[in-house]
């Protein structure tokens, strides 16, 4: 890629173009240091922009800016590498979260609870193998239309890997609407209540 920057000679444009190119290397690479360097040389740069014919000392300003740019860029790269090393895998919090999720995935209490819940509500369960179950409405359900369960039924799984591999299978967790709606139905109705 070749970049062509048109400017008028002996104008503020020529001063800026030279400062951007030679001082900041802003045309050939991204320039994360530009603002910091601008703030440090603001007064001198403004003077050169106001008097573009006055070039005495401008080469020194460019050299100074280039040195600052290289030093700041090196600091940023080193800092960025340290941050990446520290947080590249998410740290201890991410590891703890992953372990917690894995523990929940391995918990069989949800499976037993969900099967009992579906039995109480009256939802048909057809085990299709591969850790997948098809749920369909039955004639003896507690409610005629159960939220989240279509007339054609749905395929569910308690295995995260199966759910990720199969778009047609819904991954069941304690927060899934089928479980939540089932709990709401049982707790708000007369089923399981005694007086």
Among 63, 87, 111, identify where a domain stops. 87
| Gap between the Cα atoms of 137 and 143, Å rounded | 10
Cα radius of gyration rounded to whole Å, the chain = 33
- Same domain assignment for residues 80 and 110: no
pLDDT in tens, the chain (195 residues): 788 889 899 899 999 999 999 999 999 988 888 999 999 999 999 999 999 988 899 999 999 999 999 999 888 887 765 555 656 666 677 778 888 888 887 778 989 999 999 999 999 999 988 889 999 999 888 888 888 888 899 999 999 899 999 899 999 999 999 999 999 988 887 765 555
In a domain, 195, yes or no: no
Largest CA distance in the chain: 98
Q: How many domains does the chain have?
A: 2
In a domain, 149, yes or no: yes
In a domain, 131, yes or no: yes
Among 31, 52, 87, identify where a domain stops. 87
- Same domain assignment for residues 122 and 177: yes
Those residues with Cβ within 8 angstroms of residue 37's Cβ, 6 or more apart along the chain or in another chain: 23, 24, 65, 68, 69, 72
Question: Which residue range(s) make up the domain with 109?
Answer: 103-188
pTM to 2 decimals? 0.50
- Same domain assignment for residues 18 and 43: yes
CATH number at residue 109: 3.30.360.80
Among 44, 63, 87, identify where a domain stops. 87
- Same domain assignment for residues 82 and 56: yes
132-136 and 124-129 beta bridge pairing:
antiparallel
């Amino acid at each position: 890629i070749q970049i062509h920057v048109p400017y008028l000679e002996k104008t503020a444009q020529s001063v800026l173009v030279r400062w951007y190119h030679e001082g900041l290397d802003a045309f050939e690479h991204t320039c994360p240091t530009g603002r910091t360097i601008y703030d440090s040389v603001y007064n001198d740069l403004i003077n050169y922009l106001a008097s573009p014919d006055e070039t005495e000392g401008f080469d020194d300003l460019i050299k100074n800016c280039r040195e600052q740019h290289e030093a700041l860029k090196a600091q940023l790269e080193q800092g960025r590498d340290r941050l990446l090393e520290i947080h590249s895998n998410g740290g201890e919090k991410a590891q703890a979260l992953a372990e917690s999720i894995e523990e929940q995935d391995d918990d069989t209490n949800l499976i037993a609870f969900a099967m009992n819940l579906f039995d109480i509500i009256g939802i048909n369960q057809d085990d299709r193998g591969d850790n997948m179950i098809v749920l369909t409405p039955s004639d003896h359900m507690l409610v005629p239309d159960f939220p989240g369960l279509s007339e054609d039924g749905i395929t569910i799984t308690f295995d995260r890997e199966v759910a990720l591999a199969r778009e047609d299978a819904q991954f069941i967790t304690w927060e899934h609407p089928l479980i939540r709606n089932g709990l709401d139905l049982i707790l708000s109705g007369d089923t399981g209540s005694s007086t």
